[in-house]
Chain A
Amino acid sequence: MEFWYSENHTDNVKFSIRVDKQLFSGKSEFQRIDIFESEEYGRFLTLDGYMMLTEKDEFVYHEMITHVPMAVHPCVKDVLVIGGGDGGVLRELVKYDTIERIDLVEIDKMVIDVCKEYLPSVACCFDDERLTVYYEDGLKYIRRCANMYDLIIVDSTDPFGPGEGLFTREFYGSCSNALREDGIMVNQHESAFYKNDAIAMQRAHKRIIESFPISRVYQAHIPSYPSGLWLFGFSSLKYHPVRDMNAKKWNSLGIKTKYYNTNLHRGAFYLPNYIEELLENVEQAI
C-alpha cells in the first residue's frame, strides 16, 4: 500500500511525505484539521491540507521566531502570541523566567485541542501559570490593545484562509499601537523563492514598513516548507535586531536549543541577493 500526503508548493511543484497512518481528521468552524504519522517526519499537522508543522523540523521555526527577539529586547515581561495554537512558541517562551505574562490569541480552539492530544512534544506548556488563552480573531483582539506588550509574536498561517487578516496594514498598525515604545514584533514572513510566495512576502513587508521604523527580515532552513528557505520579520520601534543583540546575556541564560545560537542570529539577517532585491523593491516604492 502506498499512502502519501502531498502539498502543491506551486502549480508545478509537489512535496510529498509517505504516510504511515492518519491519526485525526476534523473540521472546525474555520478549517479542516488533520494529523498524520510518517516515518521520515514523525507526526505532522496540516490545516486545509497545508503543512503547518512536523515533529522533525518544528524546532527550527519555533526557536527562530522566539529566541531572536528575546536576545534583543533587554527585559521582556508581557508577551502576546497571535496564532500559535500548536503551542510551539509557547514552549520556547516559558524557558524565560523574566516573562510575567503570556497572552495567546488563537481563533480556532480545535487546533489547540488536537495538538494537545496528538502533538504532546509541541503542545506541552498550556498549563503554564503565566498563560491566558483567548479564542478570538487576532485582528479583533489587537485593535483594543494599546501600549501593553513588550513582544508580539505573529505565528500565523498563510495569507489566505483564516490567517488572511494577519497580513494586513490594519493588523500591523494595531500591533505597533499595542506595543510599548521599545516593543518588538516578530512575524512569520512567508518565503521568497517561488513567485506567489514572493509576492505575498513583498506585500507583507510593504505593510510592515509602513507601520514600523525598523523592520528587517531574517531566514531559517525549514525542510518541510516550500523551497525549504523560510523568512521571518523583525520589526521594532527602537531596537536593531543585530546591533542591539546581547549575546553574552542570552548565553548566560543557559537555554538549550537545537537550531538557534547567537552567531546564527547575526548570520540569519544576512540575506541572499535575490531576497535583498525583492525587499529593496518594496522599500524604494514607499
Chain B
Amino acid sequence: MQDQSRAPIYEALENLKYMRIVPFDVPGHKRGKGNPDLTEFLGQKCMSVDVNAMKILDNLCHPVSVIKEAEELAAEAFGAAHAFLMVGGTTSAIQAMILSVCKKGDKIILPRNVHKSVINALILCGAIPVYVNPHTNHRIGIALGMSLEGVKEAIEQYPDAKAVLVNNPTYYGICSNIKEITNLAHKHGIKVLADEAHGTHFYFGENFPISAMAAGADMAAVSMHKSGGSLTQSSFLLTGKNVNANYVRQIINLMQTTSGSYLLMASLDLSRRYLALHGKEVFGNVAKLAQYAREEINKIGDYYAYSREIVNGDTVYDFDITKLSINTLDIGLAGIEVYDILRDEYDIQTEFGDIGNILAYISMGDRKSDTERLISALAEIRRRYKKSRVGMLEYEYISPLVVYAPQEAFYAEKESVPIAESKDRICAEFVMSYPPGIPILAPGEQITDKIIEYIEYAKEKGCLMTGPEDMELKRLNVMKGV
C-alpha cells in the first residue's frame, strides 16, 4: 500500500517556491513577471507554478522521480498496473491506446457511438473499423451499448481482430457488459480497450458500474477532468497487467508535447489524492443529488429522466446514475431546443442537447440550490412551451457502410459535391453532430438517402454540425472517381 495522501508533483512544486531559483529557462514569462496582464488575470500563484521540466520536477517524457511516483500512486488508486499522466486530453489517451495495439490494416471491433477521437486514431494508424450496432432505445432515442452477442459475431467474423473498444459508459451513462466482453475477447487473444471519458467516478464511488480495470480490460482512457475534478485537458491512461507499459510510453511520446504543463499534472496529482481519500463520500453525494433531481423532474410531467429501469441485461447492461439525461420529446421540443432555452432565457448551461435529450452534468461541484433552479426552469419551460409531440423525427441507428479504411479515404483524392448530390458516393471526411460527438459519417463510408435526411434535420434543429471542410455543411468531400 502506498500513501495516497501524498501528492509528489504538487509537493515538488511547493518546494520549488521556497528554493528561490533564478529562472534562466523557459517559459519566458518567468513566473509571470514578464506578462503582467496574464498574471493579473490568472493570479501570481498560478503563474509561479507554470514551469518547465527540471531535475526536481522530473520529465513527463521520461519520468524517474516525482512524476513516476505520481503515476504509481495513480495506478494503485485506479487498480491498474500502470497509469500515465496525459496532458493532451482524453483524446490523446485514446489515440495512444489504439496506436499501441493496432497497426495499418489491423481490425478493431467497436460500437458506432464512439467519440470522434477514436476514428481519428484509425486515420492515424490505418486500422479498419468493424462496427457493432449499439441498438437504440426507441422510447428515448439514444444509442445504447454493444450486446455480448454482437461482439461475439464480430469476433467470429473477424477472428484476426486486434482489439475491442468499449464505451464505459457512453455520454448518456449506458454501460455494456464489459466484464464478459473482456473474457470473450481474451479467449480469442484480443485486447480490450475502454473509453472511460465519462467513467472516472466508477473507480472511487460505491454502487457504480464496474470500472474497466476491475473488469480486466487491458487499457482505459479516463477523463479525470470530467467527473474527477482536475483541470480541463488532463487525463489518465491506464494499462492492465498484460500490457507492455514501456512500449505504450513510446507510443505516447510520438505525439505528446515535450513541454507538459505542470498545472495540468499537479491538478491530476491533487485530484487523484482527493478522490482516493474522499471519493466514496463525494460520489455518494453526487449520486444522491442526481437521484433527487431525477425524481423531481419526473414529477413535473412529460419529461423523462431515465435511470436504472432501462437496464436490460445486455445492450444496457448497467447505468451510471450520476448522469442526469432527460428526454424532452413529450413536451414537443427537441433536446437541443430545451438546451437553448435553458441557456438563453434561464442562464443555465447544460452539457448538451441532442434530438431528443438534454444532459445536465451533475458533479462534485454542484449545490442543491442550483439543482432547484434547473428543476424549476424545466417546469417553467414545460408550462410555457408544451405542444404536441407530432412531427418529431426520432433518432434511428444508421448502420454504416464501411467501404474503405478511414485512413485510405481521408488521404484519397477528393472532390466536393453538394450534399443533395452526394448519394451513393464514398465520404472522405467526418460529419458529426456535436455534442455528443458521435459520427454520422466517417471517412470511407457510403452516403445514403437516410444519412442525408438526418443531416438536414439535425441542422434544422440547431445541432452544431462539425467535421466537414465546408463549415456550413452545404457540401461534402467525397472520394474522386469512386
Q: Using CB atoms and an 8 Å cutoff, list the residues of chain A in contact with chain B.
A: 137, 139-140, 142-143, 162, 164-165, 168-171, 173-174, 177, 210
Contact indicator A139/B380 (Cβ below 8 Å): no
The prevalent SS among residues of B at the interface is helix
Please tell me if B379 contacts chain A, counting CB pairs below 8 Å. Answer: yes
A169 to B380: give the CA distance in the assembly, Å: 9
Please tell me if B361 contacts chain A, counting CB pairs below 8 Å. Answer: no
Chain A residues whose CB sits within 8 angstroms of the CB of B379 once the complex forms: 143, 170, 174
Q: Which listed segment binds A: B132-140, B165-173, B370-378, B438-446?
A: B370-378
With A168-B347, A173-B383 as known contacts, state yes or no: A143 contacts B376, CB within 8 Å: yes
A44 to B305: give the CA distance in the assembly, Å: 45
Q: Using CB atoms and an 8 Å cutoff, list the residues of chain B in contact with chain A.
A: 296, 345-347, 368-370, 372-373, 375-377, 379-380, 383-384
**Which of chain A's residues has its CB closest to B377's CB?**
A170
Contact indicator A169/B346 (Cβ below 8 Å): yes
Contact indicator B372/A137 (Cβ below 8 Å): yes
Chain B residues whose CB sits within 8 angstroms of the CB of A171 once the complex forms: 376
Chain B residues whose CB sits within 8 angstroms of the CB of A162 once the complex forms: 369
9 A–B pairs (Cβ distance < 8 Å), ordered by A: A142-B376, A143-B380, A165-B376, A168-B346, A170-B377, A173-B380, A173-B383, A174-B380, A177-B380
A165 to B348: give the CA distance in the assembly, Å: 12
Chain B residues whose CB sits within 8 angstroms of the CB of A140 once the complex forms: 296, 372, 375-376
Contact indicator B376/A170 (Cβ below 8 Å): yes
Chain A residues whose CB sits within 8 angstroms of the CB of B370 once the complex forms: 165
Number of A-B contacts (CB under 8 A): 49
Pick from A164, A170, A177: contact of B346, CB below 8 A.
A170
**Which of chain A's residues has its CB closest to B367's CB?**
A164
With A143-B375, A168-B347 as known contacts, state yes or no: A137 contacts B369, CB within 8 Å: yes
**Which of chain B's residues has its CB closest to A171's CB?**
B376
Chain A residues whose CB sits within 8 angstroms of the CB of B373 once the complex forms: 139, 165, 168, 170
A140 to B297: give the CA distance in the assembly, Å: 11
Chain A residues whose CB sits within 8 angstroms of the CB of B369 once the complex forms: 137, 139, 162, 164-165
Chain B residues whose CB sits within 8 angstroms of the CB of A174 once the complex forms: 376, 379-380
Chain A residues whose CB sits within 8 angstroms of the CB of B347 once the complex forms: 168-169
Query: Which of B346, B368, B373 lies at the interface centre, i.e. has the most chain A CB atoms within 10 A of its CB?
Result: B373
A171 to B296: give the CA distance in the assembly, Å: 16
Query: Which of B373, B375, B376, B379 lies at the interface centre, i.e. has the most chain A CB atoms within 10 A of its CB?
Result: B376
In the assembled complex, how far is the CB of residue B262 from the closest CB belonging to chain A, in whole angstroms?
A: 32
